Structure 1
């Protein structure tokens, strides 16, 4: 399977997972547990599958967050709510969010069929050196099709994300440099949003940008150079190469999955799954570099 095909499938599927980071249902559910700060909510819900881990583990598996920001909330958040309670709250939030965003499609044949195919794809995933994927793969499968689909999308997203970390390390990029390079494409998070949510100061961002300019990867105004575009394309190709197995395992059913996912993703985007002002150029592609 060509890496470009794998990348396209991943981009179509990812919003079905990543909508959870913008869903008000998460704030309500975790707020009931006493976790009220948005950053604490993010770190708690994403890390809970690994257990009550410390800030070092979270920083390592997220890659592009400032470790100092993480340490403000982890491991303290586990004194407020246990990982098990957080996971249950997250699943309730996913249920509510998908019912709201998908509307009548949540109980459609298309949703059920997509969940079957996506779950089949996850059966080809291997856990070796993929910490976030492996942690979520240990969780039980939900019974309802829309939640099984969300869980499958989560597994496939984290499986690719872990692969992306391997590609970034191989390319000699720090977490912050990877984030700067991602925003330089103009197709991901806006710079201001990336700095604020990942905890990097303007000075730190500037230092990383300068290092990338010295390597000839970004221009003075923050865009990609020709060499930078080729460099990042190589990273994406390697990420897709390492993420091929689940999609290739579907054989002739890959096209059906792609078509079904595209329809469901269009539905949640039209329903406002992502707020305005977060993504550049209308993109809803969240950085796989965390």
Structure 2
């Protein structure tokens, strides 16, 4: 039954994640004076927590190099207050969804119905041990259905993401080790892209693979081993189990309905170019 949590993630996540690749977001943050790239990403995603320091951002984002956080957080908050960043992000989500889906789809009954299902699911989540989810859950709900949907999927994504970090720690994988191991599986994060986007050096990347090899999770050729596959599945299953609250609340039939309607919107986003090729199956 817990596999439905993974299906929901795969079907729905892009409705939120498109914001990280939307030029509307990059331009909106730049308009506040934030630097493009990591400063905007870190500030945009962490603003719900308030003007937090580098340690909090590094801990909750997990697989990004902490050394890349300190130069831009908390400096970002001296440039733009978290409230301004959040407003710019929501405005960007509105513009991006309208561009990618079209005004007719945004105003459709299908989006409104999907938003209500997603909201009900998100409101069944609990904040215990889920810092990024809890921060976003404290934000007011948008009124417009497409933004209500975007916010609900944001909550569901961060709820599962917080659970995934707990599962990774239980499995003994650091952020960079988890990222490196993910790059070894078919459909996983391309290693070069992962290293660059998460700001890890070649030396740090090589050390992570050496540590994985010492645990028997990858071989000398950096190919994942049976033990590596087993650990990854154990971690994903644990994440699924810790992410079941929204889907248990909706029930199987209504969850399947949300997966279907959300999946159709995600497909439309993919076809509209919402996410670069090679990144569509990353967490």
Q: TM-score range by the shorter chain?
A: over 0.9
TM (norm. structure 2) is 0.97
Cα deviation for residue 112 of structure 1 reads 0.7
The answer as to 2:50 corresponding to 1:51 is yes
Residues 213 and 219 in structure 1, CA contact (< 8 A), matched pair in contact too: yes
CA distance in 2, matches of 1:210, 1:38: 29
The answer as to 2:180 corresponding to 1:184 is no
Tell me which residue corresponds to 2:19: 20
SS at match of 2:124: coil
Q: Which runs of 5+ in 1 are unaligned?
A: none
Residues 14 and 266 in structure 2, CA contact (< 8 A), matched pair in contact too: yes
Cα deviation for residue 37 of structure 1 reads 2.2
Cα deviation for residue 11 of structure 1 reads 1.1
Q: Which runs of 5+ in 2 are unaligned?
A: none
CA distance in 2, matches of 1:51, 1:203: 33
TM superposition outliers: structure 1 runs of 4+ over 4 Å: none
| Structure 1 residues 262-277: aligned runs within 5 Å | 262-276=263-277
CA distance in 2, matches of 1:214, 1:178: 15
Tell me which residue corresponds to 2:257: 256
CA distance in 1, matches of 2:200, 2:95: 32
Greater shift in the superposed pair: 53-62 or 3-12? 3-12
| Structure 1 residues 1-290: aligned runs within 5 Å | 2-103=1-102, 104-251=104-251, 252-276=253-277, 278-279=278-279, 284-287=280-283
Residues 15 and 285 in structure 1, CA contact (< 8 A), matched pair in contact too: no
Residues 5 and 244 in structure 2, CA contact (< 8 A), matched pair in contact too: yes
CA distance in 2, matches of 1:188, 1:102: 27
Deviations 1:132-153 (A, max 9, x none): 0000000000000000000000
Deviations 1:139-196 (A, max 9, x none): 0000000000000000000000000011011011111111111111232321111111
Cα deviation for residue 110 of structure 1 reads 1.1
Residues 176 and 208 in structure 1, CA contact (< 8 A), matched pair in contact too: yes
Pairwise CA RMSD of aligned residues?
A: 1.0
Residues 118 and 149 in structure 2, CA contact (< 8 A), matched pair in contact too: yes
Deviations 1:69-91 (A, max 9, x none): 00111010111100000000000
TM (norm. structure 1) is 0.95
Cα deviation for residue 269 of structure 1 reads 0.3
CA distance in 2, matches of 1:57, 1:223: 33
